[in-house]
A and B are shown apart, each in its own frame.
Chain A
Amino acid sequence: MRTRLIPDARELLAGLLFLGFGLAGLLIGRDYASGTAMRMGAGYFPWLVSLALCVLGAVLLVRGLASSRERVALGELFQARPGLSIGGSVVAFALLLPSLGLALSTLLMTLLSGLARRRAHLGELTVLGCVLGLFSVAVFAWGLGLNLPAWPV
């Protein structure tokens, strides 16, 4: 009986990722002066590293294509929810902090990050967010004197 041999998505993605970084390095760094071996310019070392990264990315890609391990579906590999919620909550915190102040943006970040779990408990999160908000105002804004607005302006 023949089984279908399908490459492992993880290997392919890793190869693509490194190849992408390497190519980007070569592309962005193409204008930096390379200089000579004796007087290396700003572009010499980045060129060397980017090139090596491209080669490794390509090797990983080829190895991934040639490997015959079991299939890993991309959809099952990643869960969008935790990443989106955590990433989104920190982005919101950073963008809203100047206008909302530390207390409110901390509350907002806590609520948004709580959505990372499927069964988020809103009441509990609100309490936690208020506690953390007051704590951060007391410790970071007043205690440590960080240059942050505490309240909405």
Chain B
Amino acid sequence: MELLDHLAIGLQAAFTLNNLLYCFVGVTLGTLVGVLPGLGPVATIAMLLPITYGLTPSAALIMLSGIYYGAQYGGSTTAILVNLPGESSSVVTCLDGHAMARKGRAGAALAIAAIGSFVAGSLAILLLAAAATPLAEAALKFGPAEYFSLMLLGLVAAIVLAQGDVLKAIAMTLLGLLLGLVGTDVNSGVERFTFGIPELSDGISFVVISMGIFGIAEIIANLERDHGGKAQVARVGSLMPSRDDYRRSWKPILRGTGLGSLLGILPGGGAMLGSFASYMIEKRLAREPERFGQGAIEGVAGPESANNAGAQTSFIPMLVLGLPSNAVMALMAGAMMIHGIVPGPQVIDERPELFWGLIVSMWLGNLLLLVLNLPLVGIWVRLLAVPYRLLYPSILLFCCIGVYSVNNSLFDVLLTVAFGLLGYLFIKLRCEPAPLLLGYLLGPLMEENLRRAMLLSRGDPTVFFTRPLSLTLLIVTALVVLLMCSPRLRATRQVAFSED
């Protein structure tokens, strides 16, 4: 079977000592930032991006992806024990997970969360492995018109799924597109929006934007809310779930896996959406919905499985189509480009050891996380005692050094401050920053494909409608826009995002 051959290539690549080591480093770091509130995977990956220059591309991607899915495991620990989401996707886990902790059943909640995450992660990785080859084959038939339509679909979907106001999300995407155009135009050699500054002629570095908007802006916003108090950590208790826990959990775990996998693939989706959707569905399906919020194990099992499944499947559009669907994937795509690999359908054929190695390492990482999170939970709990006032100067230092080391440029560090303050403004004005990053990444690609498509069609804009694949993608885009306008969905959207 073809799939087995591929997995064999992956096994070979993932089991080299170097890659195993970075897989371990990645998931450990991921658990760490997942546990610590106020430090998420996006900021961490942005900080570590420059450090990965010295690694092989495989090791870099394996480590960075470990941080993302590792954070999904770590986030639940803080949610259950402290009633704070260590990571945005474990917001709903607080509800029932912490209620269980108050009843002295924190250990059972932690165990079910970890087991659910593991099952979900494993199944989602299988889906990723099975879907990759056929999807990439289809994607290789894409011309510039199809790529433009696909990116349009991606941007529109990211806008629909972004939190908060739709108009602001569109504006943020456009601003991102504009920022992406800064630098020398590849076709004509004209310098655009550079203000004559030589450092800008290569464009604004991706690390500068992400570190400013996700790193520094978050620190400023966190300090505003900082109370300086120490977190109240619940006791862990026995880690063994009862038979009743297992009986109640296995269906929510499977449903959460399916839901999370599906929502993870969507642009703008990723881990968070799945956990919200899963919680709402479990509550609706439950025979006694009033148990929810009082410590129902289903309310932990479903969302925790969904967020990990979503974290895994959100790699599909990035790895297979070259389209990053959320901020973390945007950073991953950036990491690939730094190593000279253009994300897209050709990666599977050209770098099979990289692609399949990454996939196999994800499963290994999930296995490591199970060990890291269950027996070693006590160590992570101690970390919660580190106060933020000691943490943030360290984060700041890593941000500065990280940005500097990309181009050995202090100008970049100053530019990061500017983006940090801009990002703080966005937080205050309730503008979600993820669409901006997506627009920034897709901007140059969209312009390039638009120009090529128009050149090939001799200036005839109907090319986007006459090529069947492109037309299909545009129809889907139109459907998404229509859905966005329907009053019922708007109401659900508001409910879904207002529960935090």
Chain A interface main SS type? helix
In the bound complex, residues from chain A placing their C-beta under 8 Å from that of B177 are: 49
Q: Once the chains bind, are A14 and B228 in contact (CB under 8 Å)?
A: no
Q: Does B420 contact A (CB under 8 A)?
A: yes
Q: Once the chains bind, are B450 and A40 in contact (CB under 8 Å)?
A: yes
In the bound complex, residues from chain A placing their C-beta under 8 Å from that of B390 are: 124, 128
A90 to B228, CA, bound (A): 23
Chain B residues bordering chain A, tally (CB within 8 A): 62
Interface string of B401-442 (1 = CB under 8 A from A): 100110010100110110011001100111100000000000
Q: Once the chains bind, are A144 and B420 in contact (CB under 8 Å)?
A: no
Number of residue pairs spanning A and B whose beta carbons lie under 8 angstroms apart: 169
Nearest-Cβ distance from residue A21 to partner chain B, whole angstroms:
6
Q: Which of B167, B192, B223, B461 contacts A82 (CB 8 A)?
A: B223
Q: Does B316 contact A (CB under 8 A)?
A: no
Q: A146-B401, A146-B404 are in contact. Are A52 and B219 (CB under 8 A)?
A: no
A121 to B387, CA, bound (A): 13
Q: A14-B429, A60-B171 are in contact. Are A50 and B178 (CB under 8 A)?
A: yes
Q: Once the chains bind, are A83 and B424 in contact (CB under 8 Å)?
A: yes
With most chain A CB atoms within 10 A of its CB, the pick from B221, B413, B446 is B413
Q: A21-B178, A29-B193, A90-B413 are in contact. Are A60 and B167 (CB under 8 A)?
A: yes
Q: Does B341 contact A (CB under 8 A)?
A: no
Q: Does A122 contact B (CB under 8 A)?
A: no
Q: A93-B413, A109-B397 are in contact. Are A38 and B190 (CB under 8 A)?
A: no
Q: Once the chains bind, are A18 and B171 in contact (CB under 8 Å)?
A: yes
Q: Once the chains bind, are B397 and A106 in contact (CB under 8 Å)?
A: yes
Stretch of B102-110, B347-355, B452-460, B464-472 at the chain-chain interface: B452-460
Q: Does A5 contact B (CB under 8 A)?
A: no
In the bound complex, residues from chain B placing their C-beta under 8 Å from that of A10 are: 428-430
Interface string of A18-55 (1 = CB under 8 A from B): 10011001001100110011111110111001101100
A1 to B393, CA, bound (A): 51
Known: A57-B171, A63-B167, A140-B405. 14 other contacts (CB 8 A): A18-B175, A21-B175, A38-B454, A38-B455, A38-B458, A42-B187, A49-B181, A53-B178, A56-B174, A89-B396, A97-B410, A128-B393, A146-B401, A146-B408
Subset of 23 A-B contacts with CB under 8 Å: A13-B425, A14-B431, A21-B175, A32-B185, A33-B190, A37-B459, A38-B459, A39-B459, A41-B188, A42-B185, A46-B193, A53-B175, A82-B219, A83-B421, A86-B223, A89-B396, A90-B416, A91-B417, A94-B417, A113-B392, A113-B396, A114-B393, A144-B405
